[in-house]
Amino acid sequence: MGNCNNSTVEELQACESHQWYRKFMTECPSGLLTFYEFKKFFGLRNLSETSNAYIETMFTTFDMNNDGFIDFMEYVAALSLVLKGGVQQKLRWYFKLYDIDGSGCIDREELLLIIKSIRAINGVSHEMSADDFANMVFDKIDINGDGELSYEEFMEGVQNDEMLLKTLTESLDLTHIVQKIQGEIRANT
Ligand SMILES: [Ca+2]
Ligand SMILES: [Ca+2]
Ligand SMILES: [Ca+2]
């Protein structure tokens, strides 16, 4: 599979899509991933309670028809968003992911929980503590100062702040998980 070594996402997607499909069908012959299988699929073991809650939220946002399973179409939609979604698309999806209780706003606790769990999963050390980071985000983009980030505040604020956008897309994305799958795909070919 020498052609799969190209690094652009488009090429990678085209070249590997059938392998993603094969992986899905191999690990999940029923064609439906439960939450338990989802974690197994991504090699997520021994998660802390916080990380587990985050992954569960992620699972719920991938399960678009809310039937408790991720089917192949939902899997593909999730992967293509992660791999090649535009900024707006990703931010919209992040917002849904961070608004854990579905209230339509992200409060400080929700943001903090997300930051902490993603850091735990990625296992990267950061200069700024999760608390400081959350405070900075609220200082910058909670325009009306009510302690919650509305959809508008989040979308506007993040897109208009290059540093924040960079930090969010870098440290809060799923690259680590995607790389893990890609590593497994390569190892099996
Ligand atoms: Ca579903
Ligand atoms: Ca909320
Ligand atoms: Ca607000």
- Mean pLDDT by runs of 10 across the 189 residues of the chain is 44 58 80 88 77 82 90 81 77 84 93 79 75 93 97 95 79 57 59
Quick one: pLDDT at residue 121? 66
* Residue found by looking up tokens 């209780």 in the block: 101
Other Cβ atoms less than 10 A from the Cβ of 102: the count is 9
What whole-number distance in Å separates Cα of residue 51 and Cα of residue 47? Answer: 6
Extract the tokens encoding 58.
Answer: 């992620």
Residue 143 CA, ligand 3 centroid: distance in Å: 6
The domains located in the chain, with CATH, are 7-188 (1.10.238.10)
Ligand (nearest to CA of 153):
3
Residue 95 CA, ligand 2 centroid: distance in Å: 10
CA neighbours closer than 13 Å in the CB half-sphere of residue 59: 22
Q: Which of 78, 87, 142, 88 is nearest to 111 (CA)?
A: 142
Ligand (nearest to CA of 151):
3
